[in-house]
Amino acid sequence: MGFVERLQPTCTLTMKELEWLLEGFDLWAAKPHKTLHYQSVT
pTM: 0.37
Distance CA 40, CA 6 (A): 46
pLDDT at residue 5, as a whole number: 64
Distance CA 27, CA 13 (A): 19
- pLDDT tens-place string over residues 14-25: 888 888 878 876
Q: Where are the alpha helices (DSSP H) in the chain?
A: 3-6, 15-22
